[in-house]
Structure 1
Amino acid sequence: MEKPLLVTEFLDRARRYYGEKEAVVATTGERYTYDELGERADGFSAALAARGVEKGDRVAVLDPNTHYHLEAAYGTMQLGAVHTPLNYRLVPADYEYILNDAEVKVVYADYAYAEKIEEIRDDVPTETFVTNDTAKVDGDWLSFDELVAESTDYDRPEMSEDEVITINYTSGTTGDPKGVCRTHRTETLHAYLTTSHQNIADDDVYLWTLPMFHVNGWGHIYAITGNGAKHVCNRGIQAETLFETVREENVSYLCAAPTVLNMLMDYYDEQGGVETAGDAPVRVATAGAAPPEATIRTVEDEFGWYLMHVYGATETGPLITTSDARRFFDDDSDDRFAMKKQQGIGYLGTDVRVVDEDGEDVARDGQSVGEIVVRGNQVMDRYWNKPEATEEAFSDRVEGYYHMGDLAVVDENGFVTIQDRKKDIIISGGENISSIELEDTLFDHDAVGDVAVIPVPSEEWGESPKAFVVPANGNLDDPGTSEEELIAYTRERIASYKAPREIEFVAELPKTATGKIQKFELREREWEDEDRMVGQG
């Protein structure tokens, strides 16, 4: 028989079997059972319906990992409306673009970020603005808590698994973000895969360090909920607080970018060691460019946590590979560190290939470089309102496969290891930064004649953006501006995490005969002491 795969089933199941069990530890100290979480989600559904939100309408959520995000997400999806989470590190101009592009009808924004929405509210089609603390927000905002207390009465529409239920905006190689359309089916199957490969069970206690806006928290808003496990919410990343929470809440599972692992290690060293676990053994998932072996060694041998390295992109669910293939290494052997540095092998039901420019699979020799392409049920449906970008993403080297833009090799066991990046994307501390967007911003400065931005190695962030600037006046001794001024200039115009960490004034940029900048030459120079040209954070 066939049963539609709907994301609403995750909370429905938790309420059905775990209604009286603790579901959420809020950042404010409150604790909610699954019955209570479900009732608050119902209240948000009812409030949206009363204000004209219908199936297919977009509802944006701007929130730093609080229980409100979970309630708003499920409250939206129960109406068949489209959950549209927003990156809280963006600037008002970014939100203006996204809210217009998605034609968002309602915005819920945490009080700490509502000001960014208030600044552009007259320039977007959004009709209703909701926050969790109206006393801390200027303008006409509705109270989330008052809304969910009004009523829990709403009609859930009939839904199809092939309908879009979430749009996740991601930075591309151009300045405008792209809306990644994900259906009930892609979200559900990705959550199933995450449950399997991350070994999620109903007795797990999950600590939110990964932003929920990151492709729905890597699907954990579904997987943790559906399994009846416990969410421990967390507004920010502070090492002392994270360790304390792990101990006090008996956290068993968390996700952490390599930069978060570095922060935890620094604190651990500064304190001369701390207790790193409560009563439960801890496992941690990290993603993107692999952490160095020293990081894995510290996390496993000193923290006593079990590390799983995974890989993917917003467009792919995100997760498509794992290095947690335990038949290939011994838990007590140092050989496991080299294995866990690799991006690994494909998830269940996921066809991951590395292909050359002709679309043929590269040799499994650990040396032949090709682009990673993937086909799987967790891969996105399309880009919102961008048919040409969608076509390119699925047809460049191999028809029907999503092209990751990462260049990699494959070893004799089929393990994938990234070597370089094809796209003009810098991944710094887990955030995508478009080098083109940064170049365009710098070009607007009168003192900049030409510019190229590349990723350079960073101990803290894995990699960070560096700009090579040709002064408009051609004078390297007196370029008409300074490194500090240009960095400040970019911070005023784009999200601060996108700003260059370093600027070098140069007489000219390496170019081809046709005038195309050869960034590869710049990258080779900056990465000559590294074993690959991607960051290891």
Structure 2
Amino acid sequence: MSKINHYEVDLDKNAANYVPLTPIGFLERAAAVYPTRTAIIHGELRYTYAEAYARARRLASALAARGVGIGDTVSVMAPNTPPVLDAHFGVPMTGAVLNTLNIRLDAATIAFTLDHAETKVLITDREFSHVIKAALEIAKAKPLVIDIDDPQYTGRGERLGAIEYEDFIAAGDPDFAWTGPDDEWRAISLNYTSGTTGNPKGVVYHHRGAYLNAVDNIVSAGMTGKSVYLWTLPMFHCNGWCFTWSLAIVGGTHVCLRRVEAAAIYASIETYKVTHLCGAPIVMGMLINAGAEAKRPLPHPVELFTAAAPPPAAVIAAMEDNGFKITHLYGLTETYGPATICAWNEDWDALSTDEQAALKARQGVKSPLLAGLDVMDPGTMTPVPRDGLTMGEVMFRGNLVMKGYLRNPKASDEAFAGGWFHSGDLGVIHPDGYIQLRDRSKDIIISGGENISTIEVEDVLYKHPKILEAAVVARPDEKWGETPCAFINVKAGESLTEDEVIAFCKANLAGYKVPRTVVFEELPKTSTGKVQKFVLRDRAKAL
């Protein structure tokens, strides 16, 4: 007779002891506990937590009145401004999914995204009206367009929709009775990643993961109610690494920054007593190399979390000499942004600055709420030796991994093969358990924190009538981390200049994807005719 497990008898989940996790509730609590505390700063605008909660509910109410609900997508094209923060709570309050668009994308890519996501509502800042107008002309999707007329923007962008954002939410109910998801596995947001082949892939996040990663940020960053977070990281990047939801947990303050410039960053740190900010290595370079007119001595230590292309140890050392405390993170869009942290070991305090910087340049260990991280042989799915030398693929497992790719089961199955998420990044694991990237198996270029598909750029180059062959690789760059470098073989009897190639690319690609360097030569190939990109990468590094 089998033994009865009494811990599983008459102890079921019910409404009193189980509620699906969702980050939406963080804002509700903050409004109740810290109603008069400043939640958002944007230029002259100030919103308390009570006001921020009311704005999110107004947005949810106004969207619901237009028929937005479960299974619908609301896309947002805007810089780091209050409406984007509103949307991170207001959109999921309706059960809909938030899709924040990369403001640097070209019209064709945006059109693809709107169609693939089946966008029902598009909230767009006036600054991007030119590219959005072109995208809407191409796209099959015909969303309701709502214009953001941000007072901080003084350019000439036009209004594309029938209603302005503030007017739209003004009609909403500040007491809108939202409900959380009936299942924490429901989608909360959709973020597109460039990948390496063809069109972008739609990465789907769930409420559970967003909740846990938001909490993870607070734990990892040591944030409190006195924390002031400066938005140098784009909110469209993995939902701002989930910091869009994090600050409400402790009642910290968001400082919006429409344009990421060194003078504005230093001024914000001084004026608003900023304690935390995040960004790609390009932000660090910007701060280090700022002119005397922009740079100011830090009035207090500032925590800076960096991820994207691995930062050079020298850059980390220079930042710390300027008063910033650097923490290196690593992750992908598929892991809600950074899922590893180069956690500091007090035994390293006695090391020299250069030695400390070299340790900080590693990608680190799993963040507190990530279940699994390892470097593995993708063929055997066994961990590589922890010797800091043997390369394998970095793999993740746990609640901080995406649901999967929208409408792309083949890609999802490949990504989750063997019960782990395959990053496609090659690295080593050191004896102390810290991982370090060595190469990128997918040939992705990370420039200023943006992923660039070499295949996408090559496809454009091949459209040029004078180009016979083209290959694109990353070239190291002190400012951007990496930039695209194009190697081109011109057709016999034709002539072509670097300026002509760049001009052609500018007409067909988003600006950040355009090659900064063009080299004319025959491409090295294997015996089967495959371009040897590792050879080209070495040549690009030597330029």
Place the TM-score, normalised by the shorter chain, in its bin. over 0.9
1:158 Cα offset (Å): 5.0
SS of alignment partner, residue 192 of structure 1 = helix
- Per the alignment, residue 176 of structure 1 pairs with 199
Say if 2:531 is the partner of 1:517.
yes
| Unmatched runs of 5 consecutive residues or more in structure 1 | 530-537
Q: Give 1:166's match in structure 2, choosing from 189, 197, 219.
A: 189
Q: 1:183-332 residue pairs with structure 2 within 5 A?
A: 183-267=206-290, 270-271=291-292, 274-278=295-299, 280-301=300-321, 303-330=322-349
Say if 2:356 is the partner of 1:336.
yes
Say if 2:375 is the partner of 1:354.
yes
1:9-61 CA-to-partner distances (Å, cap 9, x unmatched) read 121121121111000001x4110101111111111111111111112210001
- TM-score, normalization by structure 1: 0.93
1:438 Cα offset (Å): 0.3
Q: 1:321-470 residue pairs with structure 2 within 5 A?
A: 321-330=340-349, 333-334=352-353, 335-348=355-368, 349-356=370-377, 357-395=379-417, 399-470=418-489
Residue identity in the other structure for 1:121: L
Say if 2:118 is the partner of 1:118.
no
How far apart are the structure 1 equivalents of 2:129 and 2:177?
29
SS of alignment partner, residue 289 of structure 2 = helix
Q: Give 1:17's match in structure 2, choosing from 22, 27, 33.
A: 33
Say if 2:159 is the partner of 1:143.
no
Asked whether the equivalents of residues 263 and 294 of structure 2 are also in contact (C-alpha less than 8 Å), the reply is no
- Identify the range of structure 1 (403-412 vs 356-365) with the bigger mean alpha-carbon deviation: 356-365
- Per the alignment, residue 78 of structure 2 pairs with 63
- TM-score, normalization by structure 2: 0.92
Distance 1:382 1:14, change over 3 A: same
1:229-255 CA-to-partner distances (Å, cap 9, x unmatched) read 000000111111110110010000001
- Per the alignment, residue 53 of structure 1 pairs with 68
SS of alignment partner, residue 11 of structure 1 = helix
1:481 Cα offset (Å): 2.2
Asked whether the equivalents of residues 303 and 327 of structure 2 are also in contact (C-alpha less than 8 Å), the reply is yes
1:416-453 CA-to-partner distances (Å, cap 9, x unmatched) read 11111100211111110000000001000100111111
1:147-193 CA-to-partner distances (Å, cap 9, x unmatched) read 11113154424512010110011111013111100000111111111
- Per the alignment, residue 82 of structure 1 pairs with 97
Residue identity in the other structure for 2:66: R
How far apart are the structure 2 equivalents of 1:281 and 1:332?
20
SS of alignment partner, residue 438 of structure 1 = helix
1:456-513 CA-to-partner distances (Å, cap 9, x unmatched) read 111221111111111122x5xxx4321111111111111110010111111x212222
Residue identity in the other structure for 2:503: A
- Per the alignment, residue 487 of structure 1 pairs with 502
How far apart are the structure 2 equivalents of 1:77 and 1:331?
47
SS of alignment partner, residue 87 of structure 1 = coil
Asked whether the equivalents of residues 31 and 50 of structure 2 are also in contact (C-alpha less than 8 Å), the reply is yes
1:283-342 CA-to-partner distances (Å, cap 9, x unmatched) read 1100123322221122112x2121111000000112221112233421774232121011
Asked whether the equivalents of residues 5 and 161 of structure 1 are also in contact (C-alpha less than 8 Å), the reply is yes
How far apart are the structure 1 equivalents of 2:331 and 2:205?
15
Asked whether the equivalents of residues 485 and 540 of structure 2 are also in contact (C-alpha less than 8 Å), the reply is no
Asked whether the equivalents of residues 64 and 235 of structure 1 are also in contact (C-alpha less than 8 Å), the reply is yes
Distance 1:359 1:317, change over 3 A: same
Q: Percent of counterpart pairs with the same letter?
A: 39
How far apart are the structure 2 equivalents of 1:4 and 1:207?
30
Asked whether the equivalents of residues 439 and 453 of structure 1 are also in contact (C-alpha less than 8 Å), the reply is yes
- Per the alignment, residue 13 of structure 2 pairs with none
Aligned length: 516
Residue identity in the other structure for 1:21: R
- Per the alignment, residue 10 of structure 2 pairs with none
How far apart are the structure 2 equivalents of 1:143 and 1:273?
35
Residue identity in the other structure for 2:345: R
